[in-house]
A and B are shown apart, each in its own frame.
Chain A
Amino acid sequence: MRLLFEMFMTFFKVGAFTIGGGYAMIPLIQVEIVEKKEWLTEEEFMDILVIAEATPGPVVINTSTYVGYKLMGLKGALLTTLGAVLPSFVIMLIIVNFLWQYRYNPLVEKVFLGIRPAVAALISSAVYKIFKQMRPNRIGILQAIITVIIILVFHISPAYIIIAAAMGAILYFKRREQDI
């Protein structure tokens, strides 16, 4: 019971502070779930990021469902996912009802001018942490650079890059296995 409550609260916190899309919360999940609670190892967290990218849906939802299932089965999965969704759901309803009219308020804009660089810093910090954990070889670095170019220059959906990378990996390792 205690664990269930802790799981709910942890993902509630993650859900409440995921600003500017899923990637900004990677450091938050790392601190809360890998370092503090130790519910996942660094490596498992990397694997979840891979799964989250390779499957549809927001990273936060994928991560919460996976962690919840791993710790407490179906019951845990539903609870952590609810925890992750609830903050944005409630905040959104409050905004639609009361604050939508203030959306051009200059103070709100100033606050977000400050938050945006912090979000950029959070995502960059995620890059640093993932790089340190992954320690990619030369092929890996090349793959990452190609991915960046495809996304930013050609605006191709990440789904295709992931499918191509998966198929490429199978061909590559298969061939290497045959060579030995």
Chain B
Amino acid sequence: MIYLKLLISFLKIGAFSFGGGYAMIPLIRNEVVEIHGWVTTGEFIDILALVEMTPGPIAINSATFLGYKMGGILGSVIATIAVILPSIIIILIIAHFLAKFKDSKYVDWVFRGIRPVVLGLVIAAAIAIAGDAFIDIKGFIIGALWFYLISFKRLHPIPAIVLAGAIGAIIY
């Protein structure tokens, strides 16, 4: 029963994908390539490239794509819902109880301890993507200019992406 397999696989991916984005790739690969053999390694790399180019979180895009490939529209709906369900439930529980425990000193301590880690995670993501992005001087100039415009001139992120895409089509 492919629908049940999709459901369980993507529930698992959703429940254990800490850190978002690239951190979950090995987990997805293990499920869809190693365990179920739904796609080959080559196809999986193609899917990653596509997922990176499409808007939306990597986990959701992979779920939609693989669900559709294995079980049509119904398969893609099941896989997509399965991959986000764990986070929805966990966040609802936390949101519900956080109001109650906000004044607990332990909650305060834990938040203060984790905040710098979040900063570090975002820095790591910036470094990782900069390695892919700054392939030549043109890329570096776009990156530096856009950083200035977004951070100090309040350039909105949406036009920033669209404009950069158009410039890429012209200069490369």
Chain A residues in the interface with B (C-beta under 8 A): 13, 15-28, 31, 46-47, 49-62, 65-66, 69-70, 74, 77-78, 81, 85, 87-89, 91-93, 95-96, 100, 103, 107-131, 134, 136, 139-141, 143-148, 151-152, 157-159, 161-162, 165-166, 168-170, 172-174
Contacts and interface: CB of A to CB of B under 8 A. Distances in A.
A23 B55 contact: no
Interface centre among B19, B145, B163 (most CB of A within 10 A): B19
Contact of B90 (A19, A55, A115, A169): A55
A114 B117 contact: no
B18 to A, nearest CB: 4
A127 B122 contact: yes
Contacts of A130: 118-119, 122
A152 B128 contact: yes
16 contacts: A17-B161, A21-B20, A27-B157, A28-B158, A53-B18, A56-B16, A61-B84, A61-B88, A85-B60, A92-B56, A95-B50, A114-B171, A121-B146, A143-B117, A170-B109, A172-B113
Given A61-B57, A108-B53, A117-B134, A54 B114 contact: yes
Given A55-B91, A57-B90, A96 B55 contact: no
Contacts of B123: 127, 144, 147-148
Contact of A96 (B22, B68, B87): B68
Tell me whether chain A's interface is mostly helix, strand or loop, or mixed: helix
Given A13-B158, A121-B147, A58 B60 contact: yes
B110 A166 contact: yes
Interface in B112-158: 112-130, 132-135, 139-140, 142-147, 150-151, 156-158
Contacts of A54: 18, 114
A23 B90 contact: no
Contacts of A15: 55-56
A70 B80 contact: no
B109 A26 contact: no
Contact of B129 (A53, A116, A147, A170): A116
Contacts of A174: 109
A112 B139 CA distance: 11
B91 A50 contact: no
Contact of B172 (A23, A114, A126, A172): A114
Contacts of B22: 21
Given A23-B126, A120-B126, A50 B115 contact: yes
A97 B121 CA distance: 35
A165 B112 CA distance: 9
A148 B124 contact: yes
Given A69-B92, A77-B92, A128-B151, A19 B161 contact: yes
